Structure 1
Amino acid sequence: MSEPETPPTIEVEQGGNQGIQHFGHGNIVNTGAVGKGATVYRTTSREPRDRPRGAGEDRTSADVGVIVATPREFAAVARALAAGSDYRDDSRAEGTLVAEATMPVPGGAVRVAALEATEQGTLAAQTAYRRLTGFCAPSFVLLVGIAGGIDRSLGIGDVVLSDHIICYGSGKDTPDGRVIRGSGHQITDAARERMNRFFARDGRERRPLPLADATSAYLVHQGPVGSADTVVAWEDAQARRFLKDFNDKTLAVEMEAAGVAAAFHSSAGSPHRPLGWFTVRGISDLADVAKKDEHQDLAARHAADVMVRLLPFLRVTPPA
């Protein structure tokens, strides 16, 4: 077994620029700047540790449960968790992959269990949520992965924390074309309070970092995300227009949050229901005709980085 290497490090610099950012539509700057509601990070990547696979158990316990939808997303999350202690990963009986680790945070530690859905989409996400909450009964659930950006403030590699999910998978076919129907799901007060503390600590406005490699910096945004079993790959797509009409602050589109939102809503009264959940999405493309897969690894790594940074705020202290 190879010697474990140093876990990922993140450098943060505070400041007050706003209004322009790199990698997005419109204005481009070489050093990066921050739009309102955003935080900029610079990361130094490290190779994951070599770890033995665990034997697996039918049930475990975790403070935070994580759902991912693709092998690429699972690899990024597992790599981040490998920096913790007691790391193990295993394939469960139903075929889903699980990774677990204890992550150090100020004042203690947070146990994290991540589960990969069997496929992409809302239905698989609902199933993954039920399996995860039944498997480890987490206090909070994070949906971590990639998304397409539909707002000009976003750049490739940026990360969105969603406080509002817009489900737009239903509709009506008429002689004049398809009419999309949507519904909104706000995150719980407990989840919002922790998200707000995350942004309050790191600040919403940052000044640019002097970068040798611009792709190592990214911004973190807070806002609505659209979710449906639809891939958006056109600037004038009907889904983009609908989402901007529904909420002009909609930032991104993806395919699983609507399923998790429905599963969370239907689990009211369940003993395994978490205090809340939200989605953490790295921007891998701009949901236009230039959409490709080449930035998916980068976006997944940045989403996993933010997942780790959120953990101190998701720790639930047991009553004395």
Structure 2
Amino acid sequence: MNPHGSTQGNSGIVNMGGSNSFTNTVVGNEAHMTVSPNTAEALGTRTAPGGGERRRDVGVVTILPTEMRAVLDELGLDRPRKKEGLFFSTGDIPTDSGTASVVATRTHGPGQRSVMAALDHMRHHFAPRLWVLVGIGGGLHHGYNRDEGPTRAGNVIVSTRIVYYDARKITTGDRVQRRGEERQAPARIVHAVNAYFTDQGEPAMIRGRVDGHRKRSFEVHHGLIGSGEAVIADGDSEVRHWLRDYNDKVLAVDMESGGLSQFWQENSVRGEGDPGWLVVRGISDGANAEKDDGAHGLAAYNAAHVVRELLPYLL
């Protein structure tokens, strides 16, 4: 018999009457059962398309070594181990909503293309239900004092909307006409993030995670992130002006979020389940001439801690 997509074989007896109820059970000599993907999903035993690894709840992608170390420390993941020439860290994290199974990896390098390749490797080996891009980003102050407001160094931006700014047309006289693209995370992820800020307040205030900053709380904001291939180190750049005019709620910039949202959109037609996505960026600099690496650790650890706090809402 073949109920609900499963196949069974046995040499025993199947009783279709009475009040008995048997679930996922076969009886008899050389009995066997092939469970449908939907049933395996419900039982929590489904493996990723690459085989050999169970599917994970959350897949975390980082770019820099500092970002990966922060994720390992804040989430308590195992040290990276090799799988088919790639390195992944895994762990099971207890939360108020249950245990979250997490896998994390680094991209080959910075940029949109590299993050798309990393996501494809992770999807193949672990098929996470949620992708989270976590690390550092440059803050766009839009008139705020550099030491105040949402984009002070160490603050964290949680983003469910990405503005890709690099699509453009160059006309006579090298005039640039930008053709921005905006994508939003699935509704269930937006609702989860909204619930977090309802509970924690907006901005959420969290005690510092890094030595030298533990006495000062950092802020967590829900806002847009602008993404492109350019490293912005000019406080008066044309890109900053365009993003401000596009939407003054664009609070930070990075070089990978556009690739994440694009990869998700183009793979949302796959039949193996459509994951959600989220971006969490700690502000490390003001995306201006004073840009340096001094606050990378502060921003990375704060961002990784916020991911840990979001897990109960995202499960």
Q: Shared fold by TM > 0.5?
A: yes
The aligned residue for residue 304 of structure 1 is: 304
> Aligned partners of 1:65 and 1:210: how far apart in 2?
25
Contact 1:138 1:274 in 2 (8 A): no
- Deviation at 1:273? 4.2
Secondary structure of the equivalent of 2:223? strand
> Which deviates more, 262-271 or 281-290?
262-271
Aligned position for 1:79: 73
Aligned to 1:172: 169
Q: Distance in 1 between matches of 2:155 and 2:96?
A: 26
Q: Secondary structure at the match of 2:289?
A: coil
Q: Who is 1:258 aligned against?
A: 258
1:198-257 deviations in whole A, cap 9, x for unaligned? Answer: 111111256897999546521001111000111001111111111111111110000001
Aligned length: 255
Superposed displacement of residue 58, structure 1: 5.5
- Counterparts of 2:52 and 2:82, CA distance in 1: 11
Q: Give the match for residue 199 of structure 1.
A: 197
SS at match of 1:232: coil
Against the structure 1 CA distance between its residues 252 and 59, is the aligned structure 2 distance closer, same or farther, given a 3 Å change threshold? same
Q: Is the 8 A contact 2:197 2:204 kept in 1?
A: no
The question of 1:123 aligning with 2:121 is answered no
Out of 150, 154, 157, the residue aligned to residue 154 of structure 2 is 157
Partner of 2:92: 102
TM-score of the two chains, using structure 1 as the length reference: 0.74
Same amino acid, percent of matched pairs? 31
Question: Kindly tell me: are residues 205 and 222 of structure 1, through their superposed partners in 2, closer, same or farther at Cα, counting changes over 3 Å?
Answer: closer
The residue type equivalent to 1:164 in the other structure is: R
Equivalences for 1:18-57 in 2 at 5 Å?
none
Distance 2:80 2:105 in 1: 10
Q: Secondary structure at the match of 1:251?
A: strand
> What amino acid is aligned across from residue 187 of structure 1 in structure 2?
A
Amino acid at match of 2:53: R
Map Cα deviations across residues 262-284 of structure 1 (whole Å, 9 max, x no partner): 10000122134444111000000
Q: Distance in 1 between matches of 2:232 and 2:89?
A: 30
Seen in structure 2, the aligned counterparts of structure 1 residues 238 and 273 have a Cα distance that, compared at 3 Å, is farther
Alpha-carbon separation, structure 1, partners of 2:205 and 2:130: 31
- Report what 1:143 is aligned to: 133
- Structure 1: stretches of 5+ with no match in the other structure: 1-56, 316-320
Alignment of 1:179-194 (within 5 A): 179-194=177-192
Aligned-partner Cα distance in 2 for 1:282–1:271: 34
Name which structure has the greater RCO, CA cutoff 8 Å, separation 6+. 1
CA distance in 1 between partners of 2:63 and 2:251 (Å): 20
**Pair 1:67-2:77 in alignment:** no
CA RMSD, aligned part only?
Answer: 2.3
Question: How far 1:176 moved relative to its partner?
Answer: 4.6
Partner Cα distance (1:195, 1:102) in 2: 21
Q: Helix, strand or coil for the counterpart of 1:169?
A: coil
TM-score by length of 2: 0.75
Q: Tell me what 2:291 maps to.
A: 291
Match for 2:158: what amino acid? Answer: L
Distance in 2, matches of 1:210 and 1:72, equals 17
In the alignment, is the contact (CA less than 8 A) between 1:232 and 1:288 conserved in 2?
Answer: yes
Mapped partners of 1:167, 1:213: distance in 2: 35
How far is the alpha carbon of 1:115 from its aligned partner? 1.4
Which residue of 1 is the match for residue 104 of structure 2? 114
Displacement of 1:177 in angstroms is 2.7
In structure 2, the gaps of 5 or more residues are 1-50
> 2:82 is matched with which residue?
91
Deviation of residue 110 (structure 1)? 0.6
Q: Secondary structure at the match of 2:128?
A: coil
Paired residue secondary structure (1:118): coil
CA distance in 2, matches of 1:185, 1:279: 12
Give me the whole-angstrom Cα distance separating, in 2, the residues matched to 1:297 and 1:214.
Answer: 11
